[in-house]
Structure 1
Amino acid sequence: MAARTRSLSPKPRSPWRRRIVRTLQVVSGLGLLALIALVIAVYVTKSELPSFDDLKSSHSGQQMIRVHAADGAVIFRLGPNNGTWLPYDQIPGIMRDATVSVEDRRFHSHIGVDPIGIARSVEVRLKEGHWTQGGSTITQQLARNVFLNNERKFGRKFREWILALALERKFTKDQILELYLNKVYYGGGAYGIDAASRLFFGHSADHLTLAEAAVIAGLVKAPSNYSPTADAEAAVGRAGVVIQSMQEAGVITAAQAASANPQALQLKPPPKQNSVRYFTDWALPQLDTLIDERDRPLDVFTTLDLGMQRGADEAIRLNTPDGAQGALISLDRDGAVRAMVGGKDYVTSIYNRATQAVRQPGSSFKLFVYLAALESGKRPEDIEVDEPVTINGWSPRNDSRHNSGPVSLRTAFAYSLNTVAAKLGQQVGFTTVADMARRFGITTPVSTYPSMVLGTSDVRLIDMTRAFASVGQNGVAVTPYGITRVEADGQVIYTHQIDRSHVLIAPNVAAEMIDLLQTAVNTGTGRAAQIGRPVAGKTGTTTSNKDGWFLGFSSGLTTGVWMGRDDARTIPGLHGGTAPARAFAAFMGPAVRGRPIEAFQTAVTLPDAALGNEEDAYFGQPDNSAGVDADGNPLQAAPPSRSDDGGAASPDDNVPTVQDLIDQNGRDDRPKPGADRRAPPPRDGKRDPQDDDRPNQ
């Protein structure tokens, strides 16, 4: 009986079985707690989400900045381009279907997070060895775009899941898709389908075709890579993927898919020359030092006169020799920048030659030589002998290769006699001349070698124009500025204050300098700059006609013009008194037309005798045989070609199709986003072995 009783007793449980059961119980408990925590987190997040209207009104991307001209007109917008908000029922069905088909085919059935999509992305990760698919739903993308960033960390991904689940609890599928299509980034600064449609196709998104919708929907994955204006072939290929996905999803038929032809899409015409951007590129970085506001949308009011800007652009394009570049900057009497052109075409070169380029100014630098001489006690009527001179082994020459004997300073300045300028520099001291240049706003290094009196130190056009403007204001410092005030949400947060307290030279010295400058325009090297009212100015030409300058003022407006090649090669026939002076006159004539005629303090006094054009004589006989007529007079510059001036084309001349961009040499040659479109940097000022007439320094 005892043995029988022992055989009926239960066998003891295996310890492994007990451990498995306990583990399952713990895991189930933890899973339940995690689920409860997830539900709580989702509903707490839901309660904290903004309303639908608040999300609609929020801006995407970086700070919005609107730039206004002097008359209040908006000339440039910086920041996100959000287009027009399209309600769900105004978004073309073909656009909604294209987006859902390629981005999230189970959008209408999942709860905000798609487990199948996540599993597929993990499977691809295991096969490829790296993440190629994120498995993100449209709702997750919306959560990331509105509330998060794009960092690839699990913590951010977990927050994205919580937000997506909360969004699905708070908003309908139609509302989520409406928010997504109006906020997602499509490249080129365009947020939302309307901004993208206007950017690439030139019309609103409320009547997109199938091919257009496919191109736009395909941009979401990689806006830079699939942009039709950056890589047309890639855009067409991606659009084909979208159309195939739509057919597989059953939202279009095979016939519709076959009839769609992204290659034949007509793109919005490329932007025309917009020289206003030279000004905004210079002015807007100054906001970092003027204001602290980084979030609210800004309205920046500037000094730019649109009429003058158009005139400046035209003056440069029509007068700059073929193959050369030109720049112009015009300052009002208080330093307000009224016009700024940094090149012949901003679209092809954003390099601002008015503010960035450093070039030798030639004889225009004599402004500082004569200012130093006048301040030391010299007078325009004083006599100097034009004769051969050697200073520390340097022997400057006049263009005519002869000397005129005793001449007044007025005559020497009017005809730009280099020997007299060299003697004046020696008398007052070359360091004194350099100090005068720095006093008047030259920010680049100034040499103190004797040859510096002829403009061998590199300068910027904006600095030289500032110096001439200060002389025109009777020696009171003029500081260029472009921003008058800044508003944030209608509240003024910055106003420019003009400082007229800094006197650079005595008024009588300024008056005597103006006397010399107006003589140079009336009878000297700057005759081409005459505009029918008092003008004072100075020409400048450098070695072998590599740079041409004219700077002058009239009726309170000071304008500087530079022309040359970015690679500093010779331009036959280029003198400061030819194309640059003509561009000055072409701009200044209309620019001052509405201003009162202002006479200078001193009447025009003719120089001693007509010595001929002694323009920048030091640099030797001009190497411009191909650019002069039989009498030795410079020929007019040839009219710019269409490629140079970006000018008059019929409305359809420059409207490319996607296929046009692909067919360019078998590839797309348009600059990729971030490509450097600037011209080659300016020369570094080092000695050119071919410049035989350059002084020994």
Structure 2
Amino acid sequence: MASRTPTSRRPTSPRRSPWRQRIVRTSQVLLALGLLALGALVVAVYVTRSQLPSFDQLRSSPNGQMIRVHAADGSILVSLGPSYGQWLPYGQIPRVMRDATVSVEDRRFRSHPGVDPIGLARAVKVRWERGRWTQGGSTLTQQLARNVFLSSQKKFGRKFREWILALAMERKFSKNEILELYLNKVYYGGGAYGIDAASRRFFGHGAGQLSLAEAAVIAGLVKAPSNYSPTADAEAAQGRAGVVLQTMVETGAISPAEAAYADPQDLRLEPAPKQNSVRYFTDWALPQLDLLIDEQEAPLEVWTTLDPAMQRAADAAIRAQAPAGTQGALVSLDRDGAVRAMVGGKDYVSSIYNRATQAQRQPGSSFKLFVYLAALEAGHKPEDTVLDAPVTIEGWSPRNDSRRHSGVVSIRTAFAYSLNTIAAKLGQEVSFATVADMARRFGITTAVNTHPSMVLGTSTVRLIDMTRAFASVASKGVAVAPFGITRVTANGQEIYRHEVDRSRVLVAPYVAAQMTDLLQTAVNAGTGREAQIGRPVAGKTGTTTSAKDGWFLGFSSGLTTGVWMGRDNARPVAGLSGGRAPARAFAQFMRAAVAKRPIEQFETEVTLPEWQIEPDEESYFGAPDNTTYVDENGNPFADGGEAPAAAPPAPAFDPRPAPPEQERASPDRMDQDWIDRATGRDDWPRRDSPARGAYRREVPPSEYRREPPRGYEEAERPIQ
């Protein structure tokens, strides 16, 4: 049997796993991408390095815009923006300040290339544990790059640019130069940039004399300047300084004995500069710069309208007259709209909320300004007579403060004593939409409803808007726009100057004159008597339901002033009414504000109500003008939550003769026929026309009342 010869075979290599091949290829791709990314990073870093400013350029360019605000007399009201102290070279910066900063902010500062991988890993770990970013892992170099070149916006794109800048800065500057830039430019709170400004701001001396405890306080501010500011929260600042000292011990910068000796609790802080009501004005005026000018870098000199003496008088009036537990606000406008005084509250330090420009409150009867303006524009005259009697409009029945009805009275008397029934009837006659349009025409920027109760001031308004409306009446019907900035300069060059616009006419001059007549009567004989200052004054009171708000707005000698008082939570204030504390604050302020101004008579002299010849002055005092007894929906209710008792019937008229019509009329008043022809109103319904309203009737002089509306002496008693 033949033997089988074995066949020779070529050895074969083991076959590779497909997964292993994929891993190898993926690794190769990732390695190639990594090399490309590294190359791109190197290129980006060195391109950025070539574009960075020099050390001297960075040293001479402060961050932020300085703004000096001047009063109308040129004095400095306030300096805002960043504050920089003396630049300290690295060798003059106290070692304790350098060590404290490096220990608490970036203990590996001397070893990393600008970005700290260990810090980044720690930040990611904390993010994973807490579910949100609480640490950024930023180095001192990154913080410097962000403060100088970037914003604090927390987005990855910004963070990536921050890394590139930090790496580039480390390639261009030494560690000492970076630390010098950082300590002289970083923000420490209180408007202070750099350690010297911070040292002067918080301790009253330069940074060259910083002690270990003081350096620990300043170093601890970088994390959260507003939270740890010594002037805002001394306890928090001292606690944070203790953390800094402990960190310095851990890094070996100081010994435990030195940390124990440097007790932050023993530090004496420089008292914070006193803030006053001027800041209410600057907080309102300065944001307008964004609309007025484009300059964002050069230091600005801003000249404003504020009169320091008037501002002091306004502040004193609000503090003195506002009832305990309430807030007060005041705005005063010159005849061109210049804001001469603005008080947004009793104390700016405790509350920066500006109640003069931000708060929206019900104006009560002061809103009747727009009701009567609409009625006068429709053809009514102050001498026209109307019937004060119960009225129901769309299910709403307004009540007078006295809870009585006075029968036939003139429009002047109705306005002087703020009769709610008459305001409702006039609003119905001209239409509530017309009244709302009149309010918007005169500058009311908040929403105005057209429910019948709107005539009693149930829509919310701002004090500055109401003051503007009264100023426009004082300006003979020409629109007045409040402004606070007159001109702005940058580097000595004027870049803005305010121009007053007098071209917008809101109502005819005779309408404004008649309205001034009514307003003057309200002060001389009606609810605003407390606002008298010994010279002609025109104004109107306002009080809302349950005495939650008190208003007085008026003008004299070219100055228009509005006052509001109440609680921020809108709770009732016992005894508050527009004719009391707000009117007294108005008078206290205006006596000082117009003392050096000439006395000005209004173009239409006062024609007092027919009954004003009575000798008993006590009978002339009006009641708190309009506890309206309606809620925001127009539903009637009284202070205690129940509807007022039914009003007793009106007394019979006094038949005594009244003065002749020509004696009661103002000698400066234009003839109505001439006005109708001049304004194209020949076909307008006359006063004796039924089209003017079925409720109105002409009353012979023998039926005119010679006494105030009944019930005002009784209603004048303080609310219990």
Normalising by structure 2, we get a TM-score of 0.75
Deviation at 1:428, TM superposition (A): 3.4
1:346 aligns with 2:348: yes
> Shift of the alpha carbon at 1:241?
3.3
Written as runs of structure 1 = structure 2, the 5 A alignment for 1:490-501 is 490-501=492-503
Instruction: Output the CA distance in 1 between the equivalents of 2:636 and 2:269.
Output: 46
Matching residue of 2:460 = 458
Preserved contact between residue 372 and residue 432 of structure 1 (Cα < 8 Å): yes
Letter in 1 for 2:436: A
- Are the equivalent residues in 2 in contact too, given 1:525–1:615 (CA < 8 A)? yes
**Structure 2: distance between partners of 1:416 and 1:585:** 20
Give matches, 1:474-513, under 5 Å: 474-513=476-515
Using the alignment, how far apart are the partners of 1:30 and 1:379 within structure 2? 88
Change (3 A) 1:88 1:406: same
Partner SS, residue 615 of structure 1: coil
| Matches of 1:419 and 1:204, distance apart in 2 | 69
Q: Give the conservation status (yes or no) of the 8 Å contact 2:114–2:170.
A: no
Structure 2 residue matching 1:571: 3-state secondary structure? coil
Q: 1:358 to 1:138 in 2, by over 3 A?
A: closer
Shift of 1:37: 8.9
Query: 1:105-120 maps to which residues of 2 (within 5 A)?
Result: 105=107, 107=109, 110=111, 112-113=113-114, 118-119=117-118
**What pairs up with 1:282-681 in 2 under 5 angstroms?**
282-609=284-611, 611-615=619-623, 619=627
Question: Relative to structure 1, is the Cα distance of residues 516 and 254 closer, same or farther in structure 2, using a 3 angstrom cutoff?
Answer: same
The answer on whether the counterparts of 2:122 and 2:137 sit within 8 Å (CA) in structure 1 is no
How far the C-alpha of 1:159 sits from its partner, in A, is 6.0
Does the CA-based 8 Å contact 2:387-2:407 persist in structure 1? yes
C-alpha contact (below 8 Å) 2:311/2:340 kept by paired residues: yes
- 1:599 maps to a residue whose letter is Q
What SS does the aligned partner of 1:196 have? helix
Partner of 1:59: 62
Maintained 8 Å contact 1:545/1:571:
yes
1:340/1:354 contact within 8 Å kept: yes
Q: Hey, what's the Cα distance between the residues in 2 that align with 1:487 and 1:178?
A: 33
The alpha-carbon distance between structure 1 residues 515 and 486, as it changes in their structure 2 partners (threshold 3 A), is same
What letter is aligned with 1:520?
A
Between 1 and 2, higher relative CO (CA 8 Å, sep ≥ 6) is seen in: 1
Matched, 1:238 2:240: yes
Q: 1:351 to 1:91 in 2, by over 3 A?
A: same
Look up the match of 2:280: 278
SS at match of 1:340: strand
CA 1:53–1:389: 2 relative to 1, 3 Å: same
Judged with a 3 Å threshold, the aligned counterparts in structure 2 of structure 1 residues 505 and 187 are, in CA distance, closer, same or farther, namely: same
CA deviation after TM superposition for structure 1 residue 230, in Å: 6.1
Offset at 1:583? 0.5
Helix, strand or coil for the counterpart of 2:611?
coil
Structure 2 residue runs without a partner (length 5+): 1-15, 17-28, 613-618, 646-720
Cα pair 1:118 1:134 within 8 Å, conserved = no
Rate the CA distance shift 1:428–1:103 in 2: closer, same or farther, 3 A.
Answer: closer
Larger radius of gyration: 2
Amino acid at match of 2:372: Y
- Match of 1:437, SS state, is helix
Contact kept? 2:301, 2:488, Cα under 8 Å:
yes
Q: Which residue of 1 aligns with 2:149?
A: 147
After superposition, the Cα gap between the structure-2 partners of 1:174 and 1:455, relative to the gap in structure 1 and judged at 3 Å, is same
Contact 1:326 1:344 in 2 (8 A): yes
Counterpart contact for 2:364–2:628, Cα < 8 Å: no
In structure 2, distance between residues paired with 1:318 and 1:587: 11
1:69 paired residue number: 71
Higher mean C-alpha displacement, 421-430 vs 572-581? 421-430
Within 2, Cα distance between the matches of 1:156 and 1:358?
Answer: 40
The CA RMSD over aligned residues, in Å, is 4.2
Report the CA distance shift for 1:122/1:360 in structure 2 as closer, same or farther (over 3 A): closer
Change (3 A) 1:534 1:204: farther
**Residue identity in the other structure for 1:80:** P
Q: Do the aligned partners of 2:396 and 2:634 also contact (CA within 8 Å) in 1?
A: no
Deviation at 1:271, TM superposition (A): 5.7
Aligned to 2:213: 211
Q: Distance in 2 between matches of 1:320 and 1:541?
A: 14
Deviations 1:54-106 (A, max 9, x none): 21222325x55443332344434554343443344543332223223434456
1:196 aligned partner, one-letter code: A
Sequence identity of aligned pairs in percent?
72
CA drift of 1:151 comes to 6.9
1:384, 1:126 → 2: CA distance? 80
Alignment CA distance shift 1:324-1:686 (3 Å): farther
Please give the per-residue CA displacement for 1:314-369, whole angstroms capped at 9, x wherever unaligned. 21111111111111111111111111222222222232222222222222122222
Alignment partners' CA distance in 1, 2:425 and 2:634: 25
The 3 A distance-change label for structure 1 pair 474 and 173 is same
Take 1:134 and 1:508, find their aligned partners in 2: how far apart are those partners? 68
CA 434–211 in structure 1, closer or farther in 2 if over 3 Å, else same: same
Distance 1:460 1:149, change over 3 A: closer
User: Offset of 1:212 from its aligned partner?
Assistant: 1.5
Relative to structure 1, the CA distance from residue 203 to residue 414 in structure 2 (aligned partners, 3 Å threshold; closer, same or farther) is farther
Go from structure 1 to structure 2 and tell me whether the alpha carbon gap of 1:78 and 1:389 turns closer, same or farther (over 3 Å shift).
same
Please report how far the alpha carbon of residue 375 of structure 1 lies from its aligned counterpart in structure 2 after TM superposition.
2.2
Aligned to 1:50: 53
Equivalent residue runs for 1:28-43 within 5 Å: none
Residue 439 of structure 2 aligns with an amino acid whose one-letter code is A
Q: Residue 615 of structure 1 aligns to which amino acid in structure 2?
A: A
The CA distance in 2 between the partners of 1:346 and 1:395, in whole Å, is 42
Decide whether the 8 Å contact of 1:326 with 1:343 is kept in 2: yes
Residue-by-residue CA offset, 1:633-657 (whole Å, 9 max, x unaligned): xxxxxxxxxxxxxxxxxxxxxxxxx
Alpha-carbon separation, structure 2, partners of 1:322 and 1:127 = 50
**Distance in structure 2 (CA, Å) of the matches to 1:34 and 1:377:** 82
Partner SS, residue 481 of structure 1: coil
Aligned partners of 1:416 and 1:616 also within 8 Å: no
Tell me the secondary structure at the aligned position of residue 453 of structure 1: helix
User: Once the two structures are superposed, what CA deviation does each residue of 1:117-152 show, in whole Å capped at 9, x if it has no partner?
Assistant: 645764786699578876655344433432345678
Whichever residue aligns with residue 450 of structure 1, its letter is: P
Q: Note the C-alpha offset of 1:191.
A: 2.4
- Which residue pairs with 1:192 in the alignment? 194
Partner of 1:655: none
Q: Which structure 1 residue ranges, 5 or more long, are not aligned?
A: 1-15, 17-25, 623-682
Residue by residue over 1:280-305, the C-alpha shift from the partner in whole angstroms, topping out at 9 and shown as x without a partner, is 33223333433344454444332222
Partner Cα separation in structure 1 for residue 349 and residue 387 of structure 2: 51
Q: Is this contact kept in 1: 2:202–2:231, CA < 8 A? A: yes
Match of 1:626 in 2: none
**Is 437-446 or 335-344 further displaced after alignment?**
437-446
Deviations 1:15-42 (A, max 9, x none): x9xxxxxxxxx99999999999988876
In the superposition, the TM-score normalised over structure 1's length comes to 0.77
Deviates more, 1:152-161 or 1:584-593: 152-161
Deviates more, 1:471-480 or 1:352-361: 352-361
Contact 1:125 1:132 survives alignment (8 Å):
no
Deviates more, 1:273-282 or 1:245-254: 245-254
Q: Counterpart amino acid of 1:96?
A: R
Amino acid at match of 2:267: L
Kindly indicate whether the alpha-carbon contact (under 8 Å) linking 1:333 and 1:473 is maintained by their aligned counterparts in 2: yes
Is the 1:300–1:485 Cα contact (8 Å) retained in structure 2? yes
Q: How far is 1:164 from its partner?
A: 4.8
In 2, distance between residues paired with 1:434 and 1:162? 59
1:534 CA displacement = 1.5
Q: Secondary structure at the match of 1:67?
A: strand
Quote how far apart the aligned CAs of 1:184 are: 1.6
